[in-house]
Amino acid sequence: MKHLHVYDWEREKFPWHQRVDIKPEFRVGLTAALAKAFGLRGIYASLETNGSGRAFVHRGLIVLPKSKYRCSLAMVVHEVAHHYDYKVYGGSGHRASFKKSLIKLFVEVRAYRMLPPIFAALRAEQAASKARAQKACAVAVARATRLDERRREARSPAGKLKRAQERAKRLRTRIKRLTTALKKAERQARALERRLAPVPVETRVEVIP
């Protein structure tokens, strides 16, 4: 089979896969799920091309069209089949083993109804990601609102009065602590002075009978 004939043969034998359009948000996830379903570990995809698909079997990479270009299910399966052919048969390119891999993947993808659960999982993951993003956004907005309110309150006359009162309270507490420490130090100093004061020598008076 020549290099270009495989595309015509593919469109003729599997037209249903050509009509299924994969939305941009599902392309990477669908590729990874199909690769995992066929025992291909470490395969990852990216959206880089201008309407075509490419498979780099030695790097475990599949490149699909960017968001503004159409991407059919047949294109995704075609590129996954290249990696399957490389892993199972050691083949590369559009050889006879690739055609065998392509038939297996095309048939199983439709006959075993692999797509509904895959898309359901992708939609659930997308919804969870959206919910997490919304929650993070709400938390950020609430934090920014609280910060803005605190700033407005701090700039208001009532806020300035409150800060002055708090500062005066802190200073009074500090003065009280320093006064207590000072009294304690003075008591210790007086005690040491008494202890170190010289003892007077007693004078003896001799009584003559």
Q: Where are the domains of the chain?
A: 5-112
What is the mean pLDDT of the segment spanning 96-120? 86
Which whole number is the average pLDDT over 132-150?
A: 89
Q: Please, which pLDDT band fits residue 119 given cuts at 50, 70 and 90?
A: confident
Identify the DSSP state of 49: E
23-32, 113-122, 185-194: the lowest-pLDDT one: 113-122
pLDDT band, residue 201 (cuts 50/70/90): low
Candidate from 53-57, 181-185, 192-196 with smallest mean pLDDT: 192-196
The pLDDT-based confidence of 151 (bands split at 50, 70, 90) is confident
Q: Is residue 173 helix, strand or coil?
A: helix
Fold category of 5-112 in CATH: Zincin-like (3.30.2010)
Q: Averaged over 179-203, what is the pLDDT?
A: 83
d(CA 83, CA 101) in angstroms, rounded, equals 9
Split at pLDDT 50, 70, 90, the class of 86 is very high
Band of the pLDDT at 31, cuts 50, 70, 90?
A: very high
Nearest Cα neighbor of 84 from 67, 65, 109 is: 109
The CA distance from 41 to 19, in Å, is: 28
User: Rounded mean pLDDT of 85-94?
Assistant: 89
Whole-structure pTM value: 0.63
Give the 3-state secondary structure percentages of the chain, helix then strand then coil, rounded to 5: 65, 10, 25
